[in-house]
Amino acid sequence: MRYILALLLFFQVSVLCAQKNPYGLNIINSPQAYRASIKAHPEKALVDIKKAVPGVVLDIRYATKNNFMKQVMYPSARAFARKPVVEQLKKIQAELKKKGYGLKIFDAYRPYKITVAFYQKASDKNFVAHPKSGSKHNRGCAVDLSIIDLKTGKDVPMPTPYDSFSKTAAADYQDLPPAIKKNRDFLIGVMEKHGFRVMYNEWWHYDFRGWDKYELMDIPFEKL
């Protein structure tokens, strides 16, 4: 009897371990597990940002070769984030609209596998998440974005291009023309007012406050 119990315990532990990745992280990597998590917590649904946020512009660089990886990482140019994250983006878009601006999204939910690939290839590891912790993008709780001028459709000038691995990209970098600094600080101000926190070394990256309630995920867009 004791032997059988020990055997049962062994199998149970094996099953639990099988859900963890080599870094010991729990990652939702099957559509079934994702559906079950939404059933228990509807706020965990990953929502299509383009469909939910009126007038939002997408410029999904990882669906093109125009990114630091110089290769196509996503099969389609889409952007998803958890429901409460998208609700906040809606409010931000409405507020920006009153001032003649609109959101342009570069990236949002990112499957964990892509984060691993980024880490392996990135020349400067300070600008990519370590696979041992994963990225808040993997939780559907981080968004890379900027703003456009609604009248011209053009980008509002910012300190650097997206994904520039330079010190000028820091959220508090000071040695900038006043107009550029004003644009960047305006964007950071609007985002922080609505529940996001800017990444200290990337003016375009915003973490949703409360990200720790959402699991890491590794499901491609087409399986969501």
User: Nearest to Zn ion by Cβ — which residue?
Assistant: 205
Residue 148 corresponds to which tokens in the numbers above?
Answer: 């456009």
Q: Which stretch binds Zn ion (CB under 5 A): 8-16, 72-80, 137-145, 172-180?
A: 137-145
Tell me the H-state helices in the chain: 2-18, 31-40, 49-52, 83-98, 112-121, 178-193
Burial of residue 197 (CB within 10 Å: 0-12, 13-18, 19+) is middle
Say how many CA atoms lie within 13 Å of 184 toward its Cβ.
27
Q: Which stretch binds Zn ion (CB under 5 A): 15-23, 70-78, 143-151, 163-171?
A: 143-151
| Nearer Cβ to Zn ion (93/146) | 146
Applying CB under 5 A, the site for Zn ion has a residue count of: 2
Sole binder of Zn ion in the list 205, 215, 219, 224 (CB under 5 A): 205
| Nearer Cβ to Zn ion (10/200) | 200
Q: Is-contact 28 39, C-beta < 8 A? A: no
Sole binder of Zn ion in the list 144, 163, 207, 218 (CB under 5 A): 144
Q: Spell 33-43 as b/e; 16+ CB within 10 A means b.
A: ebeebeeeeee
Q: Which stretch binds Zn ion (CB under 5 A): 32-40, 54-62, 67-75, 141-149?
A: 141-149
Q: What is the closest distance, in whole angstroms, from the C-beta atom of residue 81 to Zn ion in the complex?
A: 12
Q: What is the closest distance, in whole angstroms, from the C-beta atom of residue 155 to Zn ion in the complex?
A: 17
Separation CA 85–CA 71 (nearest Å): 28
Q: Which residues bind Zn ion (CB under 5 A)?
A: 144, 205
